[in-house]
Chain A
């Protein structure tokens, strides 16, 4: 069994300041981990993924995430927020089975001008 906990339902930052979205996971297997982004009224777009290679994963639009097995965390960061980053972000875990992904409940990122 696997689960994901996104520790903040809403995060608000000012444009140009760092972004941190927190995610903890549990998995019986060596997991694959993903971050997806969903802009308003849009589908989901993959930001980045971890699949047991480098623990620091770089994604699109300047985002990156670090896999920390000892802390069972996969936090998403960006050095400088942009207005276009305002969206819903989902941390996702897969245990490798065919039954799809397990999604966190999402973090709504708000960017203040």
Chain B
């Protein structure tokens, strides 16, 4: 049981390049989330998904797209990277909505630098 895994762990992009971050979970969770973490800002929600084939915008969705083609995978895409997207990205998953007492399980993070 690997929990939540993220690929890659590190990446450096030039401005304007594109990339996709992959999140995978093997816990059969319905909900999945992408956050970004910036110094002094805590974690902010980018996009989330409440089930296969569904996605929704979070607090800071601009410049990102997501897809949930399979229940176990949640992809985060940057179509044209900008230096403001330099951050650490965390994926998380949970059984149901967090208010039902099921906490979120986090991946180890992806450190992205855009030059």
Binding site for B on A (CB under 8 A): 9, 29, 31-32, 34, 36, 42-46, 49, 51, 90, 94-101, 103-106
B19 interface residue per 8 A CB criterion: no
Indicate which residue in A31, A44, A96 contacts B100 across the interface (CB closer than 8 Å).
Answer: A96
Interface flags for B78-96 (1: CB within 8 Å of A; 0: not) read 0000000000001010000
B108 interface residue per 8 A CB criterion: yes
Give the A-B pair count, Cβ closer than 8 A. 65
Total interface residues on B, CB under 8 Å, equals: 26
Indicate which residue in B42, B98, B107, B109 contacts A100 across the interface (CB closer than 8 Å).
Answer: B98
Query: Assuming A105-B42, A106-B42, is B104 touching A100 (CB within 8 A)?
Result: yes
B101 adjacent to A99 (CB under 8 Å): no
Cβ–Cβ < 8 Å partners of B108 in chain A = 42-43
Please provide the chain B residues from 5 to 35 with a CB less than 8 Å away from any CB of chain A in the complex: 31, 33, 35
Cβ–Cβ < 8 Å partners of A46 in chain B = 103
Cβ–Cβ < 8 Å partners of A97 in chain B = 97, 99
Q: How far is the CB of B1 from chain A (nearest CB, A)?
A: 16
Please provide the chain B residues from 24 to 65 with a CB less than 8 Å away from any CB of chain A in the complex: 31, 33, 35, 40-45, 48, 50, 56, 58
Which single residue of chain A is at the shortest CB-CB distance from B101?
A: A51
